[in-house]
Amino acid sequence: SELINAIFFADAGRRVLPATPGRTTMCPVELRCDADAPARLALLPIETRLRGLSLAELRGRDEHWQQVLLDARDARTLAAALGAVTRTQRVSVEQARALGFWHDEQPEDNPPQAADGSVEVPAWRHALINYPHPLLERGLVVVDTPGLNAIGAEPELTLGLLPNAHAVVFVLAADAGVTKSDLAIWREHLGAASLERFVVLNKIDTLADPLATPAEVAAQIEHQRAVASATLGVPPERVFALSARAALAARVEHGADADALAASGLPPLERALAAELLQRRRELLAHSVLAVVQQLRGSGQRRLADRRRQNAEQLLELRGLRGKSGAKLRMMVERVDAEAAEFERCTARLAALRAVQLRQLRALTTPLGSDALRVEVGAMHAAGAARLFGLGGRSAFAQLMQRLHAAVQHAEVQCEEMRQMLVASFAQLNAEFGFAFTIAPLPTLAAYVKELERIEENYGRYFGMRQAWRMAAPGFAEQFRRMLLSKLRMVFENAVGEVELWSKAASGQVELQLRERRRAFVRRREALQRVRDAAGELEQRIAEVQQHEEQLGAVQARIGELAEAAAAAMQRLYDDPPTAVAHAASARPAAA
């Protein structure tokens, strides 16, 4: 919490989030910025755990949250309002067990009992702070967890937030180093290689020793860094020794004293986070924009090429009319009418093609739909109900994941079958009716296979004996099932969305080119009719078609130029180093 104060709230001129001995955050605190909502603190009562609803289900339901408006310009009232995250309440052991804070199988993790037998538990399940800050406004979201009990008691932290985080900052005490409980959290929840992991040894000011020289103290700090790096398997450059309290004081009491701030050790961490998080966001943005630009460029170029081909055919036809008689022109009009009638024969074949495509698409997407997933997860739950937390539960989960992997593999096979059908059909239609249908590359489902593997790894650990006591907690198994179903649904809906988008692109060009060809027949007939009715119209019409051709060529070239410019701009965005966190943090004026 003090680290968040130093990075995000120093401009308030005081400590805002509670971070003093005996007064610290008691629930996960999520810090973000939603420009469409006022600055506010939203608190979710701990009792909502008893209803079996996940955090994801409760996020959009304001009636379950207690709202407190925040005034970012008044540091005193801001700190008073955020002090609510320290609130606790006393409950019976039975209530603590139902809320997930008392486990008979793990007595060493249970909170102490008072003389009346009650125990102290957090008053809130989750806190959301909507706060205006340059980094948060750029999409950064920070989640501060209060420790092992919070991580274990709320499955969404381990199954949702942590696996989806771009980076995790693991804060340890510099004097204690990596403790047994710290190592347990790291191995169980933060050991995934896919996470960008940073380790912070905080409170290096406690290592100050009046009987040791500054060089000896520095050597001790470096020793703690080396030990933490080796124990956690993190590169030494990802382990930062600092004092968040000294950094906050440097920015608050000393007016952002550069020397004091550098001595606190915070700037290197800020630079590393900026380089990692903001650059990752820039890369994702650049990649998305480039993909959209290339897609628009391709579709636009194909449409313009087809229009130019039709123009060339019409221009050739008009030039061939020079010196022709009225009877010849009348025959030309009749030939256009005959060609248009012959062309309309394709509509029945296009309708049949569309019906086959839709049937194949339904067969592909139905096994990946929400109803099918709900049945699969329900079957897993039923199969492992007798021994859910032993081998039965683990086996049922493994079989579920095998079936889901098989469903994705079958979908890939069906995608290829649909592609082959469209390729053959489009080739025939192009040859017989002069269409210019093309097939985009199939969407790859490899990313979703990897996501399934991540889910299997993250969720599968709860079926081992080490986590059996958590799964036995009231409501935990049901929340686990809901989280698993929600995560799987998200993965499969995204996969289905990509396939449907690809299929829609293939069918969309059919409708587009059909309309264009019909308009081309109308334009050809009107041109011939005008030439037949007025002899002087031929050269004028040839000039019009030539002018239209020049315009289409200019538009096609302009599209290429704009696409290249957009690609170059995105490449610069990708290549340029991001602004440091410290610069962004100092961009806001000090609060009044």
Instruction: Indicate whether 180 pLDDT > 60.
Output: yes
The residue assigned the tokens 């628009």 is 296
How large is the average pLDDT for residues 217-231? Answer: 92
Q: Is the pLDDT of residue 264 over 80?
A: yes
Q: What is the pLDDT of residue 283?
A: 67
Residue 563 has what pLDDT?
82
* Banded model confidence at residue 222, pLDDT cuts 50, 70, 90: very high
For residue 405, the model assigns a pLDDT of 93
Which of 60-64, 398-402, 520-524 is predicted most confidently? 398-402
Task: Tell me: pLDDT of 351 over 60.
Answer: yes
Mean pLDDT on 505-511:
87
pLDDT surpassing 50 at residue 586: no
Q: Which CATH number describes the domain made up of 166-264?
A: 3.40.50
Through-space distance between the first and last CA atoms of the chain, rounded to whole angstroms: 23
| Long-range contacts of 1-4, Cβ-Cβ distance < 8 Å, separation of 24 or more | 1/25, 1/29, 1/144, 2/202, 2/244, 2/245, 2/248, 3/169, 3/171, 3/200, 3/202, 3/244, 4/31, 4/142, 4/144
74 has a pLDDT exceeding 80: yes
62: CB partners within 8 A, 6+ apart: 42
- Give the model's pLDDT for residue 585: 42
* Secondary structure of residue 195 in the 3-state scheme: coil
Angle, CA 301 vertex, CA 298 and CA 304 arms, to 5°:
150
Q: Give the SS3 label for residue 210.
A: coil
Q: Alpha-carbon distance 129 to 447, whole Å?
A: 32
pLDDT score, position 324: 63
Q: How far is CA 84 from the centre of its chain?
A: 30
Give the residue extent of every domain in the chain. Answer: 1-87+123-165, 166-264, 320-533
Q: How many CA atoms lie within 13 A of 232 on its CB side?
A: 37
Name the more confident of 328 and 203.
203
CA atoms in the 13 A half-sphere facing the CB of 93: 10
Kindly report, residue by residue over 227-247, the tens digit of the pLDDT.
999 998 889 999 999 999 999
Cα atoms in the 13 Å half-sphere on the side-chain side of 46? 24
- Band of residue 584 on the pLDDT scale cut at 50, 70, 90: very low
Q: What is the mean pLDDT of residues 374-383?
A: 83
Q: What is the pLDDT of residue 490?
A: 86
- Residue 13 is encoded by which pair of tokens? 């001129």
How far apart CA 347 and CA 155 sit, in angstroms, is: 55
Q: pLDDT per residue over 416-459, tens digit each? A: 999 999 999 999 988 888 888 888 888 888 889 988 988 888 78
- Contact predicate 364/475, CB 8 Å: no
Q: Which two tokens stand for residue 521?
A: 């027949």
Instruction: For residues 115-133, give the mean pLDDT.
Output: 90
Question: From CA 278, how far away is CA 573, in angstroms rounded?
Answer: 11
The pLDDT assigned to 227 comes to: 93
Return the ∠ at Cα 349 (arms to 348 and 351), rounded to 5°.
65
- Strand 167-173 and strand 196-202: the pairing is parallel
Up-side HSE of residue 530: CA atoms within 13 Å toward CB?
15
Query: Rounded mean pLDDT of the chain?
Result: 81
Flag the least confident range among 42-51, 185-194, 396-405. 185-194
Average pLDDT over residues 474-493: 80
What average pLDDT does range 572-591 have in this prediction? 46
pLDDT in tens, 298-320: 777 777 877 787 778 777 767 77
Greater pLDDT, 102 or 384: 102
Q: What value does the mean pLDDT take over residues 539-560?
A: 82
Beta-bridge mates of residue 67: 42
| pLDDT (0 to 100) of residue 225 | 93
Pairing label, strands 40-45, 66-69:
antiparallel
Q: DSSP class of residue 276?
A: I
481-510 mean pLDDT: 88
Mean pLDDT of 467-494: 76
Q: Which residues contact 257 (CB under 8 A, 6 or more apart)?
A: 250
pLDDT confidence of residue 68: 92
Residue 42 is predicted with a pLDDT of: 94
495 vs 288, higher pLDDT: 495
Q: Which residues, including other chains, have CB under 8 Å from residue 361's CB and lie 6 or more apart?
A: 418, 499, 500, 503
What's the pLDDT score for residue 160? 63
Task: State residue 522's pLDDT score.
Answer: 85
As a whole number, mean pLDDT of residues 42-70 equals 86
Q: What ranges make up the beta strands (E) of 371-427?
A: none
Its sign, for the CA torsion 420, 422, 427, 432, is: positive
Closest by CA to 136, choosing from 280, 284, 277, 286, is 277
